[in-house]
């Protein structure tokens, strides 16, 4: 792994590297309503703006838009879901679901909190 990547603990490795899933309603960003940017835990790439976050009631942070093309979609092997990964490092973020109607964009990036870091906006 390149030296510029952040060191991950075992739980983070299980989700980010081994495509695991954090249990619903256990992540620290599920209820976060602060303004800022969510970045990749492994490489610090900006992934989601806080104004794209919404409460889907599913137990994971949900976003209806990503920053630029920093999130890549990859169909799961079984064809049932679409995995989302960081475009820079390939770290597993979660899955994307389309057409559910939660927002006007009809897109829900369902993300594991453990795959993210949050940088609060600073207006100093």
Does residue 86 have an active-site annotation? no
Euclidean distance between CA atoms 71 and 66, whole angstroms: 7
Euclidean distance between CA atoms 8 and 57, whole angstroms: 28
| Identified catalytic residue from 43, 86, 89, 110 | 110
Cβ neighbours for 123, distance < 8 A, ≥ 6 positions apart: none
Catalytic residues, by residue number, are 110
């Amino acid at each position: 792994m390149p030296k510029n990547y952040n060191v991950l603990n075992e739980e983070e490795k299980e989700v980010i590297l081994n495509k695991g899933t954090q249990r619903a309603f256990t992540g620290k960003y599920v209820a976060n309503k602060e303004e800022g940017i969510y970045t990749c835990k492994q490489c610090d790439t900006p992934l989601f703006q806080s104004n794209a976050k919404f409460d889907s009631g599913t137990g994971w942070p949900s976003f209806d838009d990503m920053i630029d093309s920093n999130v890549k979609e990859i169909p799961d092997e079984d064809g049932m879901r679409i995995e989302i990964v960081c475009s820079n490092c390939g770290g597993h973020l979660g899955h994307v679901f389309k057409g559910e109607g939660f927002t006007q964009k009809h897109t829900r990036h369902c993300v594991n909190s453990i795959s993210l870091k949050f940088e609060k906006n600073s207006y100093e």
